[in-house]
Structure 1
Amino acid sequence: MTPEIRVATAEDAEAAAWCHLLCWQEAYAGLAPPELLARRTANVEQRIERWSAAITEGKVRWLAINPVADVRDRVVGFANSSPGRDEDSPVALELQAIYTRAAWWGTGLGAQLLDVAIGKDPAYLWVFEDNERALGFYRRHGFAPDGARKHDDYFDLWEIRLVRT
């Protein structure tokens, strides 16, 4: 089944929160310290609150929906963008997040989410510097490092900034 891609609604908050945490577990296993990853992905209620708040505030979150799945597997990917948040933003648009569940890696779903979130516009993003799978995805979509690097305290990992002009 091909997932439906659409903007998140308030009713999607729980399913989106599950997707968010499960994507972190799948994507960051082997990257983030295991105990830290377990702590960061343990509180689904907090993540539901964050998704609800973002949707209520009018922030656009694109979801890939599998409508026949239970709540934990209903959202199989998501993406969102915004005006650049960095003081030295290299371009105006930032891809804040893009994730798909591991079962959907390599299916083209990530490219579809990228397209609805930023299209072909110039954009930038931050990615963990040792996340080779993600780095390959972004390279295939025209992103390249611009030399900026920072530490992510939440997962205790280093990030690099990628830019597509």
Structure 2
Amino acid sequence: MEFTLRPATVDDVEPLTRMHLAAWRESYGHLLPEEFFASREATINTRIERQREGLAGSYRPILAHDADGSLVGIASAGQARDEDRPCELELQMIYTLRRVHGLGVGQALVDAVIGNAAAYLWVLEDNPRAQAFYRKNGFRADGTRQLLPPDWYELPEIRMVRAAVGG
């Protein structure tokens, strides 16, 4: 599959926000009730404005577009946010639409945002597909578990960590 990667700009805010929500629905539709998605869709304009503010600042996720120019993936990494962080770089987000799973888009996004660096991430405990992808990239569960906030129905997530690759 042909695709391109590039940093997001303020002009990407609406498709980025809508694709992110679509990816949540595809990824978590079996774990979260319809009300979760309906409330996010009802507040989409607020979410778009929040994204606009972030993109006007230093927030620069990497976007993946297919050959037709449709947004099919997004990823971002940055300074670790956890007090007990195992390293300084956190893979903070990666989503691809189901129609591009297994076609190299996710791998290209990971390579673009963290390269070979030591990094960690949080993944839902009940997300075996994502966990398998992360294991393929050298991540291992470190035994740390937490619950998401109530608006995410306190779904459990686990932390996965990897050492720097190669070098």
Name the aligned partner's letter for residue 136 of structure 1.
Answer: A
How far has the Cα of 1:127 moved from its partner? 0.5
Superposed CA RMSD in Å reads 1.5
How far has the Cα of 1:34 moved from its partner? 3.3
Name the aligned partner's letter for residue 128 of structure 2.
Answer: E
**Which of 82, 99, 107 is matched with 1:111 structurally?**
107
The unaligned stretches of length 5 or more in structure 1 are: none
**Which of 70, 77, 80 is matched with 1:81 structurally?**
77
How far has the Cα of 1:29 moved from its partner? 1.3
Corresponding residue of 1:98: 94
In 1: Cα distance, 2:50 partner to 2:2 partner? 27
**Which of 100, 119, 122 is matched with 2:118 structurally?**
122
Identity, in percent, stands at 43
Corresponding residue of 2:48: 48
- The number of residue pairs the alignment matches comes to 161
Contact 2:2 2:67 in 1 (8 A): no
How far has the Cα of 1:41 moved from its partner? 4.3
**Range with bigger deviation, 59-68 or 23-32:** 59-68
Corresponding residue of 1:18: 18
How far has the Cα of 1:81 moved from its partner? 0.5
Contact 1:24 1:41 in 2 (8 A): no
Query: Does 2:160 match 1:162?
Result: yes
Could you state the TM-score of these two structures normalised by the residue count of structure 1? 0.91
Name the aligned partner's letter for residue 152 of structure 2.
Answer: F
In 1: Cα distance, 2:39 partner to 2:143 partner? 31
Could you state the TM-score of these two structures normalised by the residue count of structure 2? 0.90
Cα deviations across residues 95-146 of structure 1 (Å, max 9, x unaligned)?
0000001101111100000000100111000110011111111111110111
Name the aligned partner's letter for residue 8 of structure 1.
Answer: A
In 1: Cα distance, 2:59 partner to 2:42 partner? 24
Name the aligned partner's letter for residue 16 of structure 1.
Answer: L
Cα deviations across residues 4-33 of structure 1 (Å, max 9, x unaligned)?
100001111011011100000001011223
In 1: Cα distance, 2:90 partner to 2:59 partner? 14
In 1: Cα distance, 2:160 partner to 2:123 partner? 8
Secondary structure of the equivalent of 1:149? strand
Secondary structure of the equivalent of 2:102? coil
Corresponding residue of 1:142: 138
